[in-house]
Amino acid sequence: CGHDNHAAMLMGAAEVLANMREQIPGTVKFIFQPAEEGPPIEEDGGANMMIKEGALENPKPDCVFGIHVGPYPNGSIVYATPNAMAASVLIQIEIFGKQVHGSTPWMGADPMPVAAEIITALGQIYRQINTVDPITISIGKVIDQGRFNIIGDKITLLGTVRCVHQSTMEEVNLKIDRITTHVAQAHGLTAKATFKQQVCALTNKPEWVDKFLPSLERVVGHDKIYRSEPALGYDDVSEFIKIAGGMYLFLGVQDITFGDSKPGEEVDFTKMKPTSEKGIAFNHNPKFYANDENLKIGVKIHANVVMDFLSNN
């Protein structure tokens, strides 16, 4: 995902700012946050745990600023406003049956057909949501208690829901709960949907973008700043920004061109092309790469944003 880059840029900015401590008209917190896409299912972690433990207290910050590296042109900045990244929830659906040997299914209660129908039904929820409000529902893991010749007594489905708008997330969760309950009932079984690790949508409010843009333009130039549509990925830095305000953006770190996309306008990502044999390698991919020279740019962005914000406030 590029977290080695994120840590390196923040450490670099911390060193730069520490060496000019007397010139800083305020206090700077450097937050090295783990598990931004969620801790293990039954554990606490990420931004919400840090908030509970006081990361945004003593003193309370006036804003939060963050950078995430991505497969965009070297040294470019990509951001979305006002909705930047999706709200997210981890769904766990448990379907309860009755274990029996596979040769006599009528003597038990098979949760497998229920699981299949629920997965299929969840894939149709998008037809009940306004098409201008993108959502995704993905079941990524199925855990079965049985074996090839035994019908197990329980199946667990694990997946994720992403919605650009928080109000849509609440609507989608209600539909998932209803489908889970009624599909199981139709088979004479019971099932339960649980919603975990709920993370709010990430919002770059226009007033915060306007505040930071001059700093960004001074570092990378106006011709390297692009806008994008909201992403259905999520990052729980949104929980920090919801409390303190601020901005989150992507820094390009690869040998790529945006083609004829114009700075200041929304990028047409379908026109991205590699400019070297390294190609385009997305985050969460074993071939992902980041050219080191971009780390210096990230350090400069952090440092300039800090000095400009504190000097103007």
Express as a percent the part of the chain with pLDDT over 70: 100
> What gap in Å lies between CA 178 and CA 183, rounded to an integer?
8
Residue where the block lists tokens 């952090």 = 302
Question: Span 1-7, mean pLDDT?
Answer: 92
> What gap in Å lies between CA 254 and CA 74, rounded to an integer?
5
Count the residues in the chain.
313
Q: How many CB atoms lie within 10 A of CB 43?
A: 11
Buried b (16+ CB within 10 A) or exposed e, 243-257: eebbbbbbbbbbbbe
> What gap in Å lies between CA 289 and CA 296, rounded to an integer?
16
Question: Span 28-33, mean pLDDT?
Answer: 94
221: Cβ contacts below 8 Å, ≥ 6 apart: none
Q: How far does CA 120 lie from the centroid of its chain? A: 25
Residue where the block lists tokens 């929820």 = 125
Q: Give whole-number Cα distances, 305 to 59, 130, 292, in Å.
A: 19, 38, 21
Whether residue 246 contacts residue 66, with contact meaning beta carbons closer than 8 Å, is answered with yes
pLDDT digits (tens, 9 = 90+) for 214-259: 999 999 999 999 999 999 999 999 999 999 999 999 999 999 999 9
> What gap in Å lies between CA 276 and CA 256, rounded to an integer?
8
Residue where the block lists tokens 């385009």 = 280
> Is residue 43 very low, low, confident or very high in pLDDT (cuts 50, 70, 90)?
confident
Express as a percent the part of the chain with pLDDT over 90: 89
**Using CB atoms within 10 A of its CB, is residue 23 exposed (0-12), middle (13-18) or buried (19+)?**
exposed
pLDDT digits (tens, 9 = 90+) for 159-183: 999 999 888 999 999 999 999 999 9
Q: How far does CA 127 lie from the centroid of its chain? A: 24
Mean pLDDT in the chain? 95
pLDDT for the residue numbered 178: 98
What domains can you pick out in the chain, each with its CATH number? 3-86+201-312 (3.40.630.10), 87-199 (3.30.70.360)
> What gap in Å lies between CA 137 and CA 124, rounded to an integer?
9
Q: How far does CA 267 lie from the centroid of its chain? A: 19
> Which 3 state secondary structure label does DSSP give 221?
coil
Whether residue 81 contacts residue 249, with contact meaning beta carbons closer than 8 Å, is answered with no
> What gap in Å lies between CA 242 and CA 213, rounded to an integer?
20
pLDDT digits (tens, 9 = 90+) for 112-149: 999 999 999 999 999 999 878 899 999 999 999 889 99
